[in-house]
Structures are given as C-alpha cells and as structure tokens.
Amino acid sequence: MIEGRILLFGNDPKIAQGLKKTLEKKAFTLYQVKGKTGVKEKVLEFEPELIILNFISLPEDNFKICEQLKQDKSFRNIPVVIISNISRKKELIKALEIGADDYLARPIDFDIFLARLRAILRRISYREEPEEILRCKDIVINLTTRTLLVKEKPVKLTPKEFALLYTLMKKRGRALERRYLMKSVWDEKYLGDPRTINKHIETLRKKLGPGASRHIKTVEKVGYMFRA
C-alpha cells in the first residue's frame, strides 16, 4: 500500500539518500527535483501529499518557495516541511509564520522525521474528510444522497460522473491532471488511457447545461479545473 507521494525540492545528496531509504521502506514514494525553477509546475505534475524544501547552499530559497506556495490558493493546503542547516530560533519562527508545517535543522534523525511527517499527514486527512454538501451558485451536490441539483432541478448522473464532479468541486480552483482524476474516480491502480476522462467531461458538461458547465475549465496540457 502506498502511504503517499512526497516531493523533495533540494540539492543535498545525503539528505535525499536518507529520505529515500527511510520513506520507501515505509511505502512512501519520494520524488526529487534539484532545481528551483518551475516549482508549481512540478507540484502539479507529481501531485504530492507533502512537500520538502531542502536547498542548503541558499537556505533563503526555502522560505521564498514556501511563501509562494502558501500564498497560492491552488497549493496552500499541501503541507510543506523545511529542512535547513540553520538551527537558529528566528529561522524556525520565520518558517512557521510564512506557513511551513514544520522546520527541521540538520543533522536529521530520520526515524523522528518519519514520525513527524506521518503526524502532519494525519492532521491533513482529518481536515479533508468528505464534505456532505458542496455548493457553487446554481450547483448543489449532495454526497450523502448522491444527488445533484442545477437551478434547483435534479440532474441524473452516472456514479462515475457524480464522483468526477464531486472531485472537481472539492478541489475547486486547482488544476487537476487527467491521471489524478482517473485515479480518484476509478481506482488508485487504474492504468488506462487518461484521455478517457475527456469523454466523461464532455458528457458531464452536456448534463449540467450551458450555464453550469462553464464552471468546468479545460487547463491546457494539464487537465481540468472547477472555477466559481
């Protein structure tokens, strides 16, 4: 069982090696990006449950990237952990003030790190329990009754169409890759062609009608987004 995808931004080979060994033994998947450019694009590509920032040569870059992510509505809910070679109190305070979920100074005890990482992910999972009812203007979707209302009129959806719309609305304002939608709606191990999602989006838009369907936006080279 895969516990989660972890995305590491950093250029310290020792930290990367230690994290990889520790995390993958516990069924996490670790991806590493050594560069500092295109951070948001990489987050969209890998869809991590947690981000680690570990640029040692210029520690200030960790703060800049963290702040950029936390100020963006599409990424602010993804937890961020900063690993630094600076252990001063003011750096810890600064990290927490800009939105980092944890700040660790080297040397790292990887067993303790793993425990703290799991604690963060547990907190996130509690916050992301399914909402029973989602609303956006004329659209109301009810998870408990599995019903959809558009302009107060019921719209019949297939189970997959319902799950697709719920996923998009739940992550509103965030560009979701086709493969992410396939895994979320079909199955975690689904290996089919992610372009299959295009047909379901087309059908869903028709059922929503010309007014409500405008909320589902196509994001070029990425997938789809639900916008209010």
pLDDT, one tens digit per residue, over 143-164 is 889 999 999 999 999 999 999 9
Q: Residue 46, class by beta-carbon neighbours within 10 Å (0-12 exposed, 13-18 middle, 19+ buried)?
A: middle
Cβ–Cβ < 8 Å for 2, 27:
yes
Q: What is the mean pLDDT of the chain?
A: 87
Q: For position 20, which CATH number holds?
A: 3.40.50.2300
Which one of 72, 94, 127 terminates a domain?
127
Percent of the chain with pLDDT over 70: 92
Q: For position 141, which CATH number holds?
A: 1.10.10.10
> Does one domain contain both 17 and 111?
yes
Structure confidence at residue 173 (pLDDT): 84
Structure confidence at residue 2 (pLDDT): 42
Cα–Cα distance for residue pair 26/206, rounded to 1 Å: 44
Cβ–Cβ < 8 Å for 12, 58:
no
Q: Are strands 147-150 and 139-142 parallel, antiparallel or unpaired?
A: antiparallel
Cα–Cα distance for residue pair 25/148, rounded to 1 Å: 43
> Does one domain contain both 205 and 106?
no
Q: Which residue has the tokens 């004329």?
A: 138
> Does one domain contain both 41 and 138?
no
Global pTM? 0.59
> Does one domain contain both 116 and 182?
no
> Does one domain contain both 100 and 153?
no
pLDDT, one tens digit per residue, over 79-132 is 999 999 888 889 999 999 999 999 998 889 999 999 999 899 888 765 555 568
Q: Which residue has the tokens 């209302």?
A: 149
Question: pLDDT at residue 75 above 60?
Answer: yes
Structure confidence at residue 1 (pLDDT): 36
- 193 compared with 133, residue with greater pLDDT: 133
Q: Residue 35, class by beta-carbon neighbours within 10 Å (0-12 exposed, 13-18 middle, 19+ buried)?
A: exposed
> Does one domain contain both 119 and 161?
no
Which one of 127, 161, 196 terminates a domain?
127
Question: pLDDT at residue 28 above 60?
Answer: yes
pLDDT, one tens digit per residue, over 161-204 is 999 999 999 888 888 888 788 878 876 555 566 678 899 999 99
According to DSSP, the residues that pair with 216 across neighbouring strands are: 226
> Does one domain contain both 122 and 10?
yes
Question: pLDDT at residue 208 above 90?
Answer: yes
Total of domains in the chain: 2
Question: pLDDT at residue 53 above 80?
Answer: yes
Helix axes 60-70, 89-97, angle to 10 degrees: 20
Cα–Cα distance for residue pair 88/85, rounded to 1 Å: 9
Cα–Cα distance for residue pair 150/40, rounded to 1 Å: 33
> Does one domain contain both 104 and 68?
yes
> Does one domain contain both 84 and 177?
no
Which one of 70, 99, 127 terminates a domain?
127
CA end-to-end distance (rounded Å), the chain: 35
Q: Residue 90, class by beta-carbon neighbours within 10 Å (0-12 exposed, 13-18 middle, 19+ buried)?
A: exposed
Averaged pLDDT, 6-25: 91
Cβ–Cβ < 8 Å for 26, 114:
yes
> Does one domain contain both 30 and 90?
yes
Structure confidence at residue 140 (pLDDT): 95
Q: Which residue has the tokens 């916008």?
A: 227
Q: Which domain holds residue 187?
A: 133-226
> Does one domain contain both 118 and 14?
yes
Helix axes 39-46, 60-70, angle to 10 degrees: 60
> Does one domain contain both 117 and 216?
no
